[in-house]
Structure 1
């Protein structure tokens, strides 16, 4: 099941049957559920008789196969919760390819205006010149809201970037997500879901630049005056910091924390040529829990996921070839079989026409989930 590079015995969760587990697709109140009806259930959904990790405390989680898009197991996949810095994946999906990594930008005070108090910062200084690549290292490694705001201003401003992120979410069919700020900081109404965060990660990992940034462990960052300092990736499963061992085969993607959201994490790992995605949102109040539960779910997926029947699917973006046809038709359960979309290996970009059509109608297909406000301070 796992090798010597796994998390320490103290960090690994015991394997047991997780409850409650639903054996069949639940009845729904109204309308189809994007990705399959079982993903709308409040019970654990798993397509295997082999028990899931025990003591899973997260309010929502999902594990899926990156290449096929099969959702192997999930719990409240469409529950809408504050995403914290995992929303930066959508920011990268939206803005990453706008500027070549070697372009240089001298930061002004205006670039740093409006950063919420208590934000995590990489340490950007007005008057200092940074490459675009260094700014993205600040986003991915240190979750720097200062780096996000500089890039957002380069992109035409925060309001424009938020509007583009909302459009990108619709194009990716991430209909649980509502963006208020580009950095993921707690704001009323800023919400996402385990399903949507996994869509953001899957889309981003198709971009070589995104993949390279999210797997970088350390980098030298400008300190002004020709000096540099080292920054480290705060993803503990990647770096192996704070009593956790690095997870074997991990390739990113993004962690987050706010006092309101708690800990959130979306990760991807490859083993024996197979890549799995995992998202864990809001586990028990323990710093390591989000990583421990993510690692345990990955271990289960690598050990048993190949024989598990899919309980749902990660849908493809609208621009993958099916236009603005109602999105749930590409992921609903029909007679116990999940109808899948186009090839998962296909690299796709935004389609303005499809977005315009979606703006008028796709929000009506929003899935069941828990709505709530998003207030809090301090972020990672």
Structure 2
């Protein structure tokens, strides 16, 4: 396997072992690195209130602490949901927030949080034999072909827009192995305080024992919005994907609140994040929107009424309520409440480099740093890691 790094005016070809070595260097310190307090993507409107103890969110039923004049909570049929301020982390209202439920492809938010920092968007990868062998039957696919060459940024477009399980499998292989990726995702979830999540299949495919919760998915969505690459991918409406004939074809985000497809009006200020569906999970959604300098994240898991598009309409109603409730409710908990601060490693503040300078076509890290890092590990050890691709089969379709 060979990997091409495309830089302006030059091209570097690196062996698969060297790429894996560089990836391991990036993953080793970063797999558990989280912010003890993520930066605020936008100021919260209204007075700040002290969050109550987190056990309130473990109570069954709907939890809300309205002040006089607060808007009424909308009727929502989902088994679980959360409305939270992405800036402060305050949970404004919730229903069965910690109920363990299958997450479907909303689990790809955790996959991206775990793997994105280790794989520069400009890397070109030729899909090897076996990398697509264990994609589950009925999976949503973006069209990755064995033997085809793709930029990592193309694969991320396939993950976020088309929810492509084929793209997830290739990215997991690039980052080490399927089983290793699941283990790193599990560690990342714990570091973020997402203790309801149990990862069995990194793409969200229905697998026995794989669950998350409305609370945890809100944690992942909020954390993703603080990563410029994640935020850019999850807000993208459409992109071009490489075809087998050397050309490209268009793909469109399946998040209807973002695109307005299938008769669902686009939500004003929508900025992502990820939708999903499996036969066990039903329809699931992590939605985020920004209005008047305030960013909300809403999770909706498995609506029981209204059909396939109900997840979007229920998320719309909860977002409307959340924006209208500014200054009229006290929080019922915090997305930061369960974070493992004792073991969290603070991330450095982001560099002053403009986001535009780190577009997905670029290398994602300086060439010299990549090569020096790769040289620091033995090729034999990394080759061994590449061979440890223990793929766990799954059952049931996923979106």
Q: With the length of structure 1 as denominator, give the TM-score of the two structures.
A: 0.76
* Distance in 2 (alpha carbons) for counterparts of 1:268 and 1:201: 8
Instruction: Tell me the SS of whatever aligns to 2:106.
Output: helix
Q: Which residue of 2 aligns with 1:41?
A: 59
Aligned-pair CA distance for 1:376: 6.2
Q: 1:256 to 1:154 in 2, by over 3 A?
A: same
1:243-273 deviation line (CA, Å, top 9, x unaligned): 1111000100000000110000001100000
What secondary structure, in the 3-state scheme, does the structure 2 residue paired with 1:68 have?
Answer: coil
State the distance in 1 between where 2:219 and 2:275 align. Answer: 15
- 1:220 is matched with 240
Contact 1:140 1:214 in 2 (8 A): yes
Map residues 341-360 of structure 1 onto 2, 5 A cutoff. none
* Higher CA-based Rg: 2
1:107 and 1:225 map into 2 onto residues whose CA distance is 15
2:325 matched to which residue of 1?
304
CA distance in 2, matches of 1:305, 1:36: 21
Distance 2:84 2:320 in 1: 12
- TM-score normalised to structure 2 length: 0.72
Check the 8 A contact 1:52/1:297 in 2, yes or no. Answer: no
Distance 2:78 2:57 in 1: 16
Deviations 1:155-202 (A, max 9, x none): 111011011111111111110000001100100000000000010111
Provide the rounded CA distance (Å) in 1 between the counterparts of 2:339 and 2:324: 33
Match of 2:94 among 47, 50, 74: 74
Q: Using the alignment, how far apart are the partners of 2:318 and 2:324 within structure 1?
A: 10
Q: Please name the residue that 1:291 is paired with.
A: 312
CA distance in 2, matches of 1:291, 1:191: 21
2:396 corresponds to 1:377: yes
Distance in 2 (CA, whole Å) between partners of 1:156 and 1:316 is 32
Q: Is the 8 A contact 2:54 2:337 kept in 1?
A: no
CA distance in 1: counterparts of 2:96 and 2:195, whole angstroms: 15
> Which is further off, 297-306 or 232-241?
297-306
Give the drift of 1:111: 1.1
The question of whether the paired residues in 1 share the 8 Å contact of 2:258 and 2:270 is answered with yes
2:385 counterpart residue number: none
Q: Structure 1 346/301 Cα, relative in aligned 2: closer, same or farther at 3 Å?
A: farther
Q: Give the number of aligned pairs.
A: 300
Alignment of 1:132-281 (within 5 A): 132-281=152-301
Structure 2 CA distance, aligned partners of 1:377 and 1:96? 26
- The runs of 5 or more residues in structure 2 that have no matched partner are 1-51, 351-393
> How far apart, CA to CA, are the structure 2 residues paired with 1:278 and 1:102?
32
Aligned partner of residue 110 in structure 1, secondary structure? coil
Distance verdict in 2 for CA 1:35–1:251, change over 3 Å? farther
Three-state SS of the structure 2 residue aligned to 1:121 is coil
Shift of 1:227: 1.0
